Structure 1
Amino acid sequence: MSKTLQAIRGMNDILPAQTPAWRYLESTFATLLDGYGYSEIRLPIVEYTELFARGIGEGTDVVDKEMYTFLDRNEESLTLRPEGTAGCVRAVLEHGLNGAGQVQKLWYTGPMFRYEKPQKGRYRQFHQIGVEVFNLNGPDIDAELIALTARLWQQLGLRDAVTLQLNSLGSSEARGRYREALVDYLQARFEQLDEDSQRRLDTNPLRILDSKNAQTQALLVDAPMLADYLDKESQAHFDGLRARLDALGIAYQINPKLVRGLDYYGRTVFEWVTDKLGAQGTVCAGGRYDGLVSQFGGKPTPAVGFAMGIERLVLLLETLELLPPQPQGQADLYFCTFGEPAELAALRLSETLREALPGTRLWLNNGAGSFKSQFKKADKSGARFALVLGEDELARGVVACKPLRGQGEQQTLALDDLAGQLAALLNEI
């Protein structure tokens, strides 16, 4: 027997029962970003592999172990995007969006792909909402990004469920000095490090700071601190950010071990974390990447951004029972028809009503059926009213309108003023 077809491990279907929650989150965020002056950009999910090797950094876990990379028919190495920032920077450069110091405030959403161990809240195809800002170098834009995420948590009811963590990675020169000191310290204790940290010591030693291994964390207690190596400009930037967050009343924790997993970050890094989802605690993360545009061949351009995982946020809203009742999937009107002439008339009437009553959810019965079966489907649809059209009603030029939610008696509505009468009924409280 042939194997039963099923989704690839870690790549999940989002079923109709789940999509209202996604639409709620996405629409809430899109409306919020519109209010802050951000514009949507839509990016391809496949890019040249070199983009991520140069942008994310060789030696990172993402590039070394997690990317979906393949050769196309022209023997070009392509990769399903593991994150959105590199592609957004490529688009900004390719289309000249950062020319002459133009400020760009952009956002995007869509699937990302990483070959990770699937678990609750972590998938191989996952979805992110990302925001990127170009050509603003002060701490005020860093504060704005954090402020708009804080407002999102307030609108979603999550304000008390998440905590903001902050750090500054300083300039590349400051990180270089710190990296040398950290490597010297850890090299002397190499045998006590866990296997992943031993590998990272040569490739990406700062990632050792957020190791989940308890023994490695114990070693780091006396390790050099990045804050002691910050350059004056980065310290001033960080102080400016903190002053603005204090002015806004946004609470935060300084986490000296917060380094992020991608090479392009510098200066500000931040994460919103929760303790409501077990191990998968980060729901939003980002920071500055002032050197990435020039790394891709463009002029030096300050840049900052963040990304949040939709799956994880939906899971958090579900866990805390914060999803409001969603109207999607319910009708306002359900049209029951009996006999082919009535079916044809109802088909025409339905389109006329949709044009006259925009936004009204009108469902037309499909597949015929008995009076009882059609009314059963009408009730299941959640509609407030069932419209009934049969041969008798058609001959008299009327439609029967039956309330389905205890809203009075059945009425007879004239076909020549059907839209107006239905509008009045639907607007009744």
Structure 2
Amino acid sequence: MDYQKPKGTADLLPGTTGLWEKVEANAREVFREFGYRGIRTPMFEDYNVFSRNVGDTSDIVEKEMYDFHDKGDRHIALRPEGTAGVVRAYVENKLYGPEYPKPYKVYYMGPMFRYERPQSGRQREFHQIGVEALNNESPQIDVEVIAMAMTLFKRFGVPNVKLTINTLGDKQVREDYRQALIDYLKPHYDELSKDSQDRLYRNPLRVLDSKDAGDQKIVANAPSILDYLDDESQAYFDQVQSLLKQLGIDYEIDTNMVRGLDYYNHTIFEIMSDSPVFGGGYTTVCAGGRYNGLIKQLGGPEEGGIGFGMGVERLMLLLQQENPEFAPQDSLDVFFASADDQGDALAFDLLNKIRQQGIVADKDYSGVKVGKQIKEAFRRNAKYFAVFGGREVDEGKFELKNAATKGSVEIAVDDFATDPAKYLK
């Protein structure tokens, strides 16, 4: 029987993983500059961590969650997103105590799971890089989080992205707007798609971001949430916009953007690209927002938080199209070839000594002819190579050859072992 990976998953093979590692390293560096530290939470949680907090009317909970009962009959779900698990860890470990910084800034990286139709840039096992700034309710933190996301794209060499923002107001604003939407959509019920009909009374805001063309025509004339903001919510949104302008960050307001998770309020945002790799139109690569009720809902104090999640698979497609030079090239500092058993033993010993000093080095292990070994040095993009045999062993010297210039220099084996970096410039 031929075994294959499950549908909606992918093997990340050498040659690809280097790009992933470079993206993750750059993200960690940016997060460190903004004062964020890493957090790692379980890949599965109690089902209710997601169903009650992501929202039981969201597509994630209704259609996409991988959930099961384990051998102890506990209802478990693989994490479909990162925020709920991070907030659960924050509350459970009482990280809101006076001894902890405020806001409490963390980042995460790892796989998420949703049962949906696999497509380019989105799998059933997919990966996110995300951040959360907990225990705060400040427009400055909202803008800092957005600025950090935009900094990431600049660091990746993909500056041509579009930032869109919206506000969902506070709880009362959202309730008032919810009723206004229901009143507007009710006369169009029979024209709506089945998904939107199902959502109309349970979560009408989700109708606004329907991908159905008929639904989009109907909601084009729907009331705007900006018309329902109270003074406090309006002032908060005004301050977010003012701070974005102060930092020179361009943005557009999209009043139909609501995000797919039910816990958001006030500031929400998406960072999108119209790169041809996505097949036309703008595709969201990073998105997030504020969630002032979620911490209390999970048993913690009445505190706010804001964060974002970035889809790594989509980011990889974007990088390959827009900045292919970002991908690291595998190479070696030096490659050793062996002419005989004596030379091979010396090469093996020397290899170990120079690796201890941070030199990226390798040798032949197959025993093929020297010519093939040297071809392998070039195939592996080695900057230098050397051939070891009985003569090199007897004389204690060898020729180090520059792969690019074809020049060579004779070096004592002991000198090279003592300070290889001196010769590998």
Calculate the TM-score normalised by the size of structure 1: 0.94
Give the structure 2 partner of residue 350 of structure 1: 351
Q: Secondary structure at the match of 2:117?
A: coil
Shift of 1:362: 0.6
Shift of 1:399: 2.5
Cα distance in 2 between the residues matched to 1:51 and 1:293? 11
Residues 342 and 390, structure 1, Cα contact 8 Å, conserved in 2: yes
Shift of 1:202: 2.7
Q: Secondary structure at the match of 1:344?
A: helix
Distance 1:288 1:421, change over 3 A: closer
Residues 21 and 323, structure 1, Cα contact 8 Å, conserved in 2: no
Q: State the one-letter code of the partner of 1:350.
A: L
Give the structure 1 partner of residue 230 of structure 2: 231
Shift of 1:337: 2.0
Q: State the one-letter code of the partner of 2:112.
A: M
- Specify which of 410, 422, 425 is matched with residue 424 of structure 1: 422
Q: State the one-letter code of the partner of 2:285.
A: V
Residues 122 and 280, structure 1, Cα contact 8 Å, conserved in 2: no
Shift of 1:324: 2.7
Give yes or no for the alignment of 1:315 onto 2:322. Answer: no
Cα distance in 1 between the residues matched to 2:419 and 2:6? 51
Cα distance in 2 between the residues matched to 1:95 and 1:348? 49
Cα distance in 1 between the residues matched to 2:424 and 2:345? 24
Residues 113 and 124, structure 2, Cα contact 8 Å, conserved in 1: yes
Once the two structures are superposed, residues 360-399 of structure 1 have per-residue CA deviations (whole angstroms, 9 ceiling, x without a partner) of: 2111221222111211211211111112221221111123
The count of residues paired between Structure 1 and Structure 2 equals 420
- Specify which of 89, 92, 109 is matched with residue 91 of structure 1: 89
Tell me, which stretches of 5 or more residues in structure 1 are unaligned?
none
Give the structure 1 partner of residue 127 of structure 2: 127
Q: Secondary structure at the match of 2:123?
A: coil
Q: State the one-letter code of the partner of 1:345.
A: L
Give the structure 1 partner of residue 4 of structure 2: 6
Shift of 1:420: 5.2
Cα distance in 1 between the residues matched to 2:349 and 2:15? 30
Q: Secondary structure at the match of 2:332?
A: coil
Q: Secondary structure at the match of 1:146?
A: helix
Once the two structures are superposed, residues 376-427 of structure 1 have per-residue CA deviations (whole angstroms, 9 ceiling, x without a partner) of: 211211111112221221111123322222242x332112211356422322
Residues 121 and 280, structure 1, Cα contact 8 Å, conserved in 2: no
Tell me, which stretches of 5 or more residues in structure 2 are unaligned?
none
Give the structure 1 partner of residue 342 of structure 2: 341
Give the structure 2 partner of residue 149 of structure 1: 149
Off by >4 Å, runs of 4+ in structure 1: none
Q: Secondary structure at the match of 1:315?
A: helix
Q: Secondary structure at the match of 1:74?
A: coil
Once the two structures are superposed, residues 126-160 of structure 1 have per-residue CA deviations (whole angstroms, 9 ceiling, x without a partner) of: 11000000112110000101111222222222222
Residues 335 and 364, structure 1, Cα contact 8 Å, conserved in 2: yes
Once the two structures are superposed, residues 185-234 of structure 1 have per-residue CA deviations (whole angstroms, 9 ceiling, x without a partner) of: 21222101111100111322100001112222222233222111112222
Give the structure 2 partner of residue 204 of structure 1: 203
- Specify which of 66, 70, 74 is matched with residue 72 of structure 1: 70
Distance 1:137 1:325, change over 3 A: closer
Structure 1 segment 205-354 matched on structure 2, within 5 A: 205-276=204-275, 277-278=278-279, 281-324=283-326, 326-327=328-329, 329-354=330-355
- Give aligned-pair identity as a percent: 41
Cα distance in 2 between the residues matched to 1:324 and 1:25? 9
Residues 285 and 306, structure 1, Cα contact 8 Å, conserved in 2: yes
Give the structure 1 partner of residue 80 of structure 2: 82
Residues 158 and 323, structure 2, Cα contact 8 Å, conserved in 1: no
Give the structure 2 partner of residue 28 of structure 1: 26
Give the structure 1 partner of residue 399 of structure 2: 400
Deviates more, 1:336-345 or 1:235-244: 336-345
Q: Secondary structure at the match of 1:323?
A: helix
TM-align CA RMSD: 1.6
Residues 332 and 383, structure 2, Cα contact 8 Å, conserved in 1: yes
Residues 166 and 255, structure 1, Cα contact 8 Å, conserved in 2: yes
Q: Secondary structure at the match of 2:415?
A: helix
Give yes or no for the alignment of 1:115 onto 2:115. Answer: yes
Deviates more, 1:287-296 or 1:41-50: 41-50
Residues 208 and 257, structure 2, Cα contact 8 Å, conserved in 1: yes
Q: State the one-letter code of the partner of 2:396.
A: G
Q: Secondary structure at the match of 2:256?
A: coil
Shift of 1:35: 0.9
Shift of 1:316: 0.8
- Specify which of 409, 412, 420 is matched with residue 410 of structure 2: 412
Shift of 1:280: 6.8
Calculate the TM-score normalised by the size of structure 2: 0.95
Q: Secondary structure at the match of 2:178?
A: helix
Shift of 1:66: 0.2
Once the two structures are superposed, residues 96-132 of structure 1 have per-residue CA deviations (whole angstroms, 9 ceiling, x without a partner) of: 1122374211000001010111111111111100000
Shift of 1:24: 2.1
Residues 157 and 322, structure 1, Cα contact 8 Å, conserved in 2: no
Cα distance in 1 between the residues matched to 2:349 and 2:18? 30
Residues 19 and 327, structure 2, Cα contact 8 Å, conserved in 1: no
Cα distance in 1 between the residues matched to 2:419 and 2:105? 46
Q: Secondary structure at the match of 2:424?
A: helix
Once the two structures are superposed, residues 214-256 of structure 1 have per-residue CA deviations (whole angstroms, 9 ceiling, x without a partner) of: 2222222332221111122221111111000011111111100
Q: Secondary structure at the match of 1:55?
A: coil
Give yes or no for the alignment of 1:361 onto 2:360. Answer: yes
Q: State the one-letter code of the partner of 1:36.
A: F
